[in-house]
Structure 1
Amino acid sequence: FSGSTVDGTLVTSIDINTIANKVYKYNFPKTANCSRNIESLSIEEISKLDIDCILMSPPCQPFTRIGLKKDSSDNRCVSFLHLLTVIPSLKNLKYILLENVKGFETSQSRYELLSCLEKARFNYQEFILSPCQFGIPNSRHRYYLMAKKKDLGFIFDNNGLLTAFPDRVLKVIPKKLYKLLPVEKRTFNLSHTVACYKIKNILEENVDDKYLIPEKILSKHGHLLDIRTPESKGSCCFTKAYKHYVEGTGSVISPYLDIKMKESLKLYDNKEKLQYLVNLKLRYFTPREISRIMCFPENFKFPNELTDKQKYRLLGNSINIHVVSQLIYLLNYEDNVSQITCF
């Protein structure tokens, strides 16, 4: 956190994904990192951390559109449900920020969360937001919930599920937070028609040919590809299956600026279609490029031993840093966060 936005102390980070923990330690060697199931942490252990803020992103598999949607009955919900039993007992807890996949807002787990917050005397506000609303060329709709103790000032009025910030809230967000974006000229506007910056601003130079899409994939699945160019002002949501599956896992890019896509590739016969796609020199976005589009800072790095597959899986399960930074700022508005723990 920048001192010009929110001051805080990260008390500890917790995850059971060994690769995620390795990347976290690599980038934040001085922050405590715990590799444990959260359900194994007792109320006493969590209380000893003396935290006043929890940032959490519970497993999303129980709520995803491609999953079984077992909701609270899914074993992967156990850690989240355990934490809900702990929250009312944490006397110093003042702030909560939760992120999850779109679909969580209709889940039983969400209703159990709201019941917990009412019991623990929190005000809260829910959102469905996407980076494209913040001028970032990526569609990644996510559910967010901000909660704050009722004796603290809260900038929101608990107006149900919001899909954009109210105008009066936009006025308090400093434009300087946009320093996290990888371009110099930024548009500060959260309307649904905001102009995003161009994809060319996040592209690497001299990308290895290993990222070119093989002809075998172009031949079988070329019609499913979401093709972007450096002049594009958008991209699809990147998932952990990127480069493993084609449909719905993220966009690909062609270096050419003057692509004239026909209404449908079905207009070509198979041979013409393949040659057309080969000529576009289509490639996958690199892990660094996806990191940039998700607003990770330039000094963020992966350990050298990680494979691209591992990197894509982590990024697909990650968050957009800039969107979350805005929410943290608003959560802290008119208050000073002294200690922060990240689950």
Structure 2
Amino acid sequence: MHRILELYSGIGGMHCAWKESQLDGEIVLAIDINTIANEVYAYNFPETTISNRNIQSLTSKEIENLDVNTVLMSPPCQPFTRNGKCLDENDPRTNSFIYLINLLIKLHKIEYILMENVKGFESSTVRNLFIESLKTCGFIYQEFLLCPSQVGVPNSRLRYYCIARRHVSQWQFKTKEEIIKSLPHKYSLPYTLEDILQKDIQHDMYLLNEKMLKRANILDICYKHSRRSCCFTKAYTHYLEGTGSVYTNSNEDKVEKCYKIANTFDVGSEKFVQSLKELNLRFFTPSEVVRLMCFPQNYTFPENVTIKQCYRLLGNSVNIKVISELLKILFE
């Protein structure tokens, strides 16, 4: 049975993916510095030991004493994004991951690693440090750029992944020196959003307000028969542009008609807004985002966690389906 250390554990996305993969093993310890994320993690996995601490306080001796052979992690992605100014290794938020990279040479019991990060990490200096450390420690590895839509999920969330293992000479799939952009297995087309829509929803809580409707021309609108949706970020509902899709029960014809009428008026004017109100455009609920990110049906948030906090935590989390498929490959 594998013994797993989950670093940057957040709300337990890697834990969910491990369970989804049905591999034999247990999460021995989960570590994250975010107290709210840890609270959500504990609520869903009360049997797992969680440590609220800075990863740089971990020593090689402490990790070796845990007797773990697997590390699952999703280090901070902001240093590799435009919003984070792409500061790469000069961003203090990379310090803990660079610390781990340098620590790896002392972790003789670690045999398997899965790491997730944002697209952009693959061209960073930190990535180069990570790969060089893997090579030095005798790991073979494969890098991927994958999206949930490739494994049948109607959501875009393009991410960098690296799987690595040692004490084995080759994988059971054809590896490449360059980044692989698809998984070696075939998957069905994405299901429709109707499969994830919440039935008992208080629509008024999630409707776009008039201020938001003034900027309706930048919205990405989805329907119940849609097989796609945009990536949900931690700023979802706080900002409109590039943070995720919105939903309407109306069909495309009605949306097109309402927008056609609205655009005969000045964009953002009162008449522009009134023309779009009947579409009842709304945000996806946290429960719907949870389903799009493939968390299990019984996954929930504690009642004291606000809706805004739910979105922020989900925006920082991972897609369970993609990672569970990668875990199966990693341990083949």
Asked if these proteins are the same fold (TM beyond 0.5), I'd say yes
Counterpart for residue 8 of structure 2:
none
Q: Is the 8 A contact 1:127 1:163 kept in 2?
A: yes
Task: State the distance in 2 between where 1:114 and 1:237 align.
Answer: 27
The one of 192, 200, 218 aligned to 1:198: 192
Partner of 1:327 in structure 2?
326
Q: CA deviation at 1:128?
A: 0.6
Q: Describe the SS at the equivalent of 2:46.
A: coil
In 2: Cα distance, 1:65 partner to 1:135 partner: 28
- Asked if structure 1 preserves the Cα contact closer than 8 Å seen for 2:20 and 2:324, the reply is no
Equivalent residues in 2 for 1:82-101 (5 A)? 82-101=99-118
| Counterpart residue number, 1:78 | 95
Task: Specify the SS of the correspondent of 1:305.
Answer: coil
SS at match of 1:10: strand
Q: Deviations over 1:247-282 (max 9, x none)?
A: 000000001234454497684313553233211001
Q: Which residue of 2 aligns with 1:290?
A: 289
Correspondence for 1:12:
29
Q: Which residue of 2 is the match for residue 240 of structure 1?
A: 234
Query: In structure 2, how many angstroms separate the alpha carbons of the residues matched to 1:63 and 1:259?
Result: 40
> Deviations for 1:24-50, whole angstroms, at most 9, x for unmatched residues?
000001101011111111111111111
TM-score of the two chains, using structure 2 as the length reference: 0.88
CA distance in 1 between partners of 2:104 and 2:292 (Å) = 34
**Percent identity, aligned pairs only?**
46
**C-alpha contact (below 8 Å) 2:21/2:327 kept by paired residues:** no
Alignment of 1:1-343 (within 5 A): 1-2=18-19, 5-151=22-168, 153-156=170-173, 157-165=175-183, 169-170=184-185, 188-189=187-188, 195-208=189-202, 209-219=204-214, 221-262=215-256, 267-270=263-266, 271-333=270-332
> CA separation of 1:199/1:222 partners in 2, compared to 1, >3 Å: closer, same or farther?
same
TM-score (norm 1): 0.86
Query: Any idea what SS the aligned residue of 2:80 has?
Result: coil
On the 8 A contact 1:231/1:257 being kept in 2, the answer is no
CA distance in 2, matches of 1:37, 1:111: 23
- Give the 3-state SS of the residue equivalent to 2:133 in structure 1: helix
CA-to-aligned-CA distance 1:214-265 (integer Å, 9 cap, x gap): 112102x111111111111110000000000010000000012344544976
* C-alpha separation in 2, matches of 1:139 and 1:2: 23
SS at match of 2:321: helix
One-letter amino acid of the structure 2 residue matched with residue 216 of structure 1:
K
Q: Distance in 1 between matches of 2:255 and 2:56?
A: 51
**C-alpha distance after superposition, 1:79-109 (max 9, x if no partner):** 1011111112111111000000000000000
Name the SS for the 1:13 alignment partner.
Answer: strand
Q: What is the SS of the residue equivalent to 1:81? A: helix
**Aligned-partner residue type, residue 212 of structure 2:** I
> 5+ residue gaps in structure 2?
1-17
Q: Decide whether the 8 Å contact of 1:124 with 1:158 is kept in 2.
A: no
Write out per-residue CA displacement over residues 160-212 of structure 1, whole angstroms, 9 at most, x where no aligned residue. Answer: 101112xxx317xxxxxxxxxxxxxxxx24xxxxx311111101113111111
3-state DSSP of counterpart to 2:171: coil
Could you tell me how far apart the structure 2 residues matched to 1:51 and 1:262 are? Answer: 56
* Ranges in structure 1 where 5+ consecutive residues have no aligned partner: 172-187, 190-194, 334-343
Alignment length (residue pairs)? 308
**What is the CA RMSD across the aligned residues, in angstroms?**
1.8
